Amino acid sequence: MHTDVVVFGAGGYSGVELIKLLSQHPHVRIVAAASDTHAGKPLPSLTGMASHGSSRFVRTEEALAAAKKGMFAFLAVPAEPAHALAKDLVARGLRVVDLSDAHRKASPYGMTALFSADVVDAPLVANPGCYATAIVTALAPFVRRHLFDPKMLIVSAASGVTGAGRQKDETYSLGELANDMRPYKVLRHQHIPEIEAALGRVGEEPVRVCLTTHLLPTPRGILATITASLLEAKTSAELTDMLREDYATDPFVTIADTPEEVSLRRVVGTNQCAIGVASEGRVGGFCVLTASVDNLLKGAAGQAVENMNLMLGHPRALGFSHLSRHS
């Protein structure tokens, strides 16, 4: 049995990855891929997949006309249109995963490694942000055990240029960033409240996160370096064992032996989150974690498909067997 799916914002970076993933899913049929910018163009012009044949991008209005009760929808659009689309689609009887930040405060939060039970019966699920996915997944086992000072979690993270979405501003182009690296949205990044809320839920106490983000001269991938202060004396090996214990059955979390082994190359093109940890081993000492994800897969489209699988009663990893898993 197949589920009919409509994708809005299908011409953006995350939308294209969604189309590619859904095309490989054994229980999904794409009935409409909406992109007002690319309407009329064949899907292979952006996806590069010959299997899409003569299928073409359509305008939002045409996709809405095709959306019927019992179907599934993905919103890979900015927050403002996502609000209106989600309300309309849910009212029609569709189930929805929203990749924007429009519903992350008010809807079940689909961080699949931690809160998968929340999304199973939800009509609308908010897909986490890419930085939040890497940072919260890495910190959660230790925040849950109250091993870190919750008021001093310092994160320096860098993203490939696709993390900013398709932009008219040349500042965000790969050509402009070549041989350069720059911080952006210092002390005002939109993922900070999301990260603090998710970690606060995990540890059942307020946390404060100082996140400084950077743009890398590379197309995709996120690498986060997290520094925390230890409240208990724990060695690197003990902390690594905790990560492995908590994520032993997770198909999309890989624990490295050391933080130095975590890299973009290890995760780009996969749906994996790679994590490594090192510790000074004493109370008040530093603990450093590194975490990496592909911002367009595990950080966006991949996790959205995971959420769809959970909502439809499928195994979480269904439809990912064609992706590589780097060691």
Tell me whether residue 210 is one of the annotated catalytic residues. Answer: no
Chain centroid to CA 166: 17
149 touches 228 (CB < 8 A): yes
263 touches 204 (CB < 8 A): no
Measure the CA angle with vertex 319, ends 90 and 61; round to 5°. Answer: 35
Phi-psi region of 227 (alpha: psi -120 to 50; beta: other; left: phi over 0): beta
Using a 10 angstrom Cβ sphere, with 0-12 exposed, 13-18 middle and 19 or more buried, the burial of residue 325 is: middle
Using a 10 angstrom Cβ sphere, with 0-12 exposed, 13-18 middle and 19 or more buried, the burial of residue 315 is: exposed
Strand partners, 184: 213
Catalytic residue, chosen from 130, 210, 273, 287, is 130
Using a 10 angstrom Cβ sphere, with 0-12 exposed, 13-18 middle and 19 or more buried, the burial of residue 187 is: exposed
| Rounded-to-integer distance, Cα 253 and Cα 116, Å | 14
Q: Which residues are catalytic?
A: 130
